[in-house]
Amino acid sequence: MIARSRLCPLLAASVGALLLSAADAPATAAPHIYTIVIDKLKFGPAPAQLHKGDTILWVNNDLFRHTATAADHSFDVDLMPGKAGKTVLTKSGSIPFFCRYHPNMRGVLQVK
């Protein structure tokens, strides 16, 4: 058993070390919401600086039904004309995507 007189300095040192290590840890950025607009059978540009946890809001401004479908099946958003849908990015890396109805519509998300 540790004597009470030795416990307080030991506890204070432990708490201080924890506080210092937390202060040195890099701050995690809050997730962001980015918009990709679909118009004239094209996806708008993919945003730069995407991070895991960010949300993509897909907006279909076209006259046709579209999807935003990840090649790795990590997301598949079906969008009627004039509608929007979203997906949360759950992994890092390069994520190619396409429209299931118009396979020539393609893009790539670069997620850090």
Q: Please report whether residue 10 resides in a domain.
A: no
Average pLDDT in the 23-38 region? Answer: 79
Indicate the number of domains in the chain.
1
Instruction: Kindly state the percentage of the chain with pLDDT values over 70.
Output: 75
pLDDT at 17: 45
Residue 25's pLDDT band, with cuts at 50, 70 and 90, is very low
pLDDT of 87-107, one tens digit each? Answer: 999 999 999 999 999 999 999
Quote the domain boundaries for residue 64: 33-111
Q: Which helix (H) or strand (E) holds 70?
A: strand 66-70
Among residues 68, 65, 64, the alpha carbon closest in space to that of 43 is found at: 68
Cα 34 → chain centroid: 9
Q: Domain containing 59 — which CATH number? A: 2.60.40.420
